[in-house]
Amino acid sequence: MLLYNTQTRKKEEFQPITPGKVGIYACGPTVYNYFHIGNARAFIFFDVVRRYFAYRGYEVTYVQNITDIDDKIIAQANEENISFTLVAEKYTRAFLEDTSALGIKPPTYQPKATEVMDDIIAFIAELEKKGYAYEVEGDVYFATENLPSYGCLSGKKTEEQLAGARVMENYNKRHPADFTLWKKGKPGEPVWESPWGKGRPGWHTECVVMSQKYLGETFDIHCGGIDLIFPHHENELAQAMAYSGKPLANYWMHNGFLNVDGEKMSKSLKNFFTARDILAEYDAESIRFFFLSKHYRSPIDFSRELMDESQRAVANLYSSLAEINYPENAENRRPTACGTAQELQNLEQEFILAMDDDFNTAKAISLLFELNRKVKNTSATMADRISAAIKMVELGSVLGFFQNLEAKLKQKMPDLSKDLICLILSYRKEARDKKDWALADKIRNDLAQLGIEIKDTPEGVKWTLKEKK
């Protein structure tokens, strides 16, 4: 299995620390608002990474944190005029609801920053003892110049980092690249007692402590969005190296941005849609298909046109299963022809090769549609079609599709029928707009023969189902 390692800028063969086991840490949300659909890309993709390792026989420990104390949470609490704990609880619940709605499996462990405060304070104290941290008027900073390897993940060296951009100017720091480990408490802010006075931890320290608490000093894979490489992941790695002399993770994986009109989707640019908003328009598997149909490291542009295509593609898979009365027929399937069995085995091997090559989900999805064509092949025996369907569901499930399959099959076909009628009516509208009255009338008459009566009204076209003539 090859993984692209951000730190080395190349694909590397995956070698687990413990044979047969894999430890993964994925950066979770800062719970101050609903997460946007760009964040969902990371949550969905790394859910697939976790699922694929399990499919390949690994025992997976998957840790995803929740940052429940941060400047943004405090700002939101002030805006809503409630306590920071209520803000964190409100949006933690929303995060869990929305990830569940997206079909994302719960992590093995999901620690909160406020739950490991004693560990954080002890960690910072050890960094100070080792000469990598210094205190100024109640704030504690990491001394980046004391760590020669600083910048090895992002490629940014301390001498290149002047105040500005992502590095905030602060005259209490010895160097512009130094970052905060502990923040002195301000009036009205939540604080914890510490050797440096009342305050709270910095974001970078929270994550390194939570990851090591559940996965050890060095674990297999650390992952997140590409925007986290610097400064967040760089600063996590720096603290780990200073603390133990060991790397925090052996492989660093980062997914690309979700863009809108060529710009990164983000709250600061106000061009974002929350996952909750998009879930109100599209089902979870359409959203998953949209993201997985492109390689995870590539940027992807959000558009409702692409989302509509994804929805139709997923509906196509379900319609194939419905055509062969799946899963009822699968329970009583007959033996498959030897040639077909070999073809299915070959397709599964191609699926594995695609996923083993740095999680090429786009190729893996194309193989699902090869299986789908076999399911739809009416010239094949029903036994062969059912066998193809079973393999399609098995491999699709690795990507997170076909969850709650039986319930969804009952829902999908009526929805698909409505979609098809709306699609045909859109073609009729195009004909009318072009004054092609003959084609528009033909569509009306053909639909009437199928028992679908349409009426042109001032509010638009209306359709109803009538008794078939």
The tens digit of pLDDT for each residue in 242-301 reads 999 999 999 999 999 998 867 776 666 767 789 999 999 999 999 999 999 999 999 999
Residue pair 379/365 in contact by the 8 Å Cβ criterion: no
Whats the size of the chain, residue-wise? 469
Q: Where are the alpha helices (DSSP H) in 300-381?
A: 304-323, 328-331, 338-356, 361-376
Q: Which of 146-160, 316-330, 377-391 has the highest mean pLDDT?
A: 377-391
User: Which class in CATH covers the domain with range 276-403?
Assistant: mainly alpha
* pLDDT beyond 70 at 442: yes
* pLDDT beyond 80 at 318: yes
Which pair of tokens denotes residue 274? Answer: 């929350």
Average pLDDT, the chain: 91
* Residue 200 CB neighbours (<10 A): 24
Output the CA angle 42-46-52, nearest 5 degrees: 155
- Per-residue pLDDT band at 465 (split at 50, 70, 90): low
How many Å apart are CA 155 and CA 294, to the nearest integer? Answer: 26
What does each C-alpha distance from 158 to 8, 162, 233, 235, 454 come to in angstroms? Answer: 19, 8, 15, 12, 69
Question: What number is the average pLDDT over the span 351-360?
Answer: 98
Output the CA angle 61-31-75, nearest 5 degrees: 150
Task: Quickly name the fold that domain 2-255 has.
Answer: Rossmann fold (3.40.50)
* Segment holding 60, helix H or strand E: strand 59-64
Domain pair 2-255 / 276-403, same fold: no
- Per-residue pLDDT band at 329 (split at 50, 70, 90): confident
For residue range 31-68, list pLDDT tens digits in order.
999 999 999 999 999 999 999 999 999 999 999 999 99
Which pair of tokens denotes residue 225? Answer: 């969005």
Question: What number is the average pLDDT over the span 102-121?
Answer: 98
- Per-residue pLDDT band at 164 (split at 50, 70, 90): very low
In the chain, domain spans: 2-255, 276-403, 409-465
Dihedral of alpha carbons 63, 24, 40, 271, sign? positive
Whole-model pTM?
Answer: 0.85
- Chain-centroid distance, C-alpha 435: 46
What does each C-alpha distance from 111 to 26, 84, 240, 287 come to in angstroms? Answer: 12, 17, 18, 27
